[in-house]
């Protein structure tokens, strides 16, 4: 039974779907990050598996192209010992006109336990969550411009790993905020965890007019936006989502908003640089920064596996069951 106030929670306030960071209680977000910390070490084991999802079927439904997210979800499910099914959307019945809900109904009949969904339409994972059986769970792997909650959570994990406490941090989110579901998820995550200041940085054409209502400081120059920052999150220019002339050129964008080693000096000396990927070198970020000592872009990917393991084990209730049976410590 879904909570009327939050469709991600059951009547006991437990997480059963992950659709958005928005509206999640702080203790649930923290629980996901704490659980992920226990899974990070699984990657260093000789046998990189734990049995939490043994016997469960995870269906990856990516209606949009993805490399990083899809692969890390597949690795995460495999390391939890799940059976993983990657649906080839281009060759599926969906490409022949079958409705989204009919596709889900047919896959549910194949004993699916968990759907990982990426879709170009905002709200698609919510629609699916409303129509699956109570024992089936849904994780949003990115929907339209709306949300990308596991990316937001792995960004929160990365920041916490390097900076420990959010309460004194200044974080800048730079670039194509208008089209970025990652930016929205990061803002919700940062504000939920008590970040001191969140800045949104970009040209006026790429920053939504209502962004200040989300509790952030809007800056339209890179220099103002990253000065004194502890964390800089660079965003990809999403040309595939743009309509009309929002930018003169990618070269002009890089000149004004591209992060170079020289501009990075405006941030704190120990500032970290993040990017959700894929990276466009020379468009939003200079190669010297990507490969530099302050970049934590590759650790983000590594942490993403652990975060997605945590989310899967929590929403399915298998972590809760393991903790009840054995205290949960040896499981992760």
Contact 214, 261 (CB under 8 A): no
Instruction: Judge whether 196 and 167 are in contact, CB under 8 Å.
Output: yes
Other CB atoms within 10 A of residue 92 CB: 15
Task: Tell me if residue 231 falls in helix, strand or coil.
Answer: strand
Q: Whole-angstrom Cα distance, residue 84 to residue 49? A: 14
Counting beta carbons within 10 angstroms of the beta carbon of residue 326, is it exposed (0 to 12), middle (13 to 18) or buried (19 or more)?
exposed
Is residue 113 within 8 A of residue 134, CB to CB? The reply is no
Binding site per annotation, positions for L-aspartate = 96, 181, 236
Annotated binding site: 68-69, 96, 118, 148, 151, 181, 236, 277-278
Binding site for carbamoyl phosphate, residues? 68-69, 118, 148, 151, 277-278
- Work out the widest C-alpha separation in the chain, in whole angstroms: 60
Q: How does strand 217-219 pair with strand 197-201?
A: parallel
């Amino acid at each position: 039974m879904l909570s009327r106030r939050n469709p991600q929670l059951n009547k006991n306030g437990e997480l059963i779907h992950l659709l958005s960071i928005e509206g999640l209680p702080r203790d649930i977000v923290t629980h996901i990050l704490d659980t992920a910390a226990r899974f990070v070490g699984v990657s260093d084991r000789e046998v990189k598996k734990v049995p939490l999802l043994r016997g469960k079927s995870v269906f990856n439904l990516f209606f949009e192209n993805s490399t990083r997210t899809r692969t890390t979800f597949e690795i995460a499910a495999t390391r939890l010992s799940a059976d993983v099914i990657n649906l080839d959307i281009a060759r599926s019945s969906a490409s022949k006109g079958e409705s989204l809900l009919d596709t889900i109904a047919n896959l549910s009949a194949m004993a699916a336990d968990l759907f990982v969904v990426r879709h170009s339409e905002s709200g698609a994972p919510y629609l699916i969550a409303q129509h699956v059986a109570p024992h089936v769970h849904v994780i949003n792997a990115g929907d339209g411009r709306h949300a990308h909650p596991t990316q937001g959570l792995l960004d929160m994990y990365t920041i916490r790993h390097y900076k420990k406490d959010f309460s004194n941090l200044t974080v800048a989110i730079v670039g194509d905020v208008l089209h970025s579901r990652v930016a929205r998820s990061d803002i919700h995550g940062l504000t939920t965890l008590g970040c001191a200041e969140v800045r949104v940085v970009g040209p006026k054409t790429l920053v939504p007019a209502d962004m200040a209502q989300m509790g952030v400081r809007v800056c339209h120059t890179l220099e103002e936006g990253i000065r004194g920052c502890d964390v800089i999150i660079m965003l990809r220019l999403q040309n595939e989502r743009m309509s009309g002339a929002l930018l003169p050129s990618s070269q002009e964008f890089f000149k004004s908003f591209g992060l170079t080693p020289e501009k990075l000096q405006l941030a704190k000396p120990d500032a970290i640089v993040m990017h959700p990927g894929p990276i466009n070198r020379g468009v939003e970020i200079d190669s010297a920064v990507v490969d530099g000592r302050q970049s934590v872009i590759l650790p983000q990917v590594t942490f993403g596996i652990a975060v997605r393991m945590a989310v899967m084990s929590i929403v399915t209730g298998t972590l809760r069951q393991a903790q009840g049976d054995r205290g949960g410590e040896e499981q992760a």
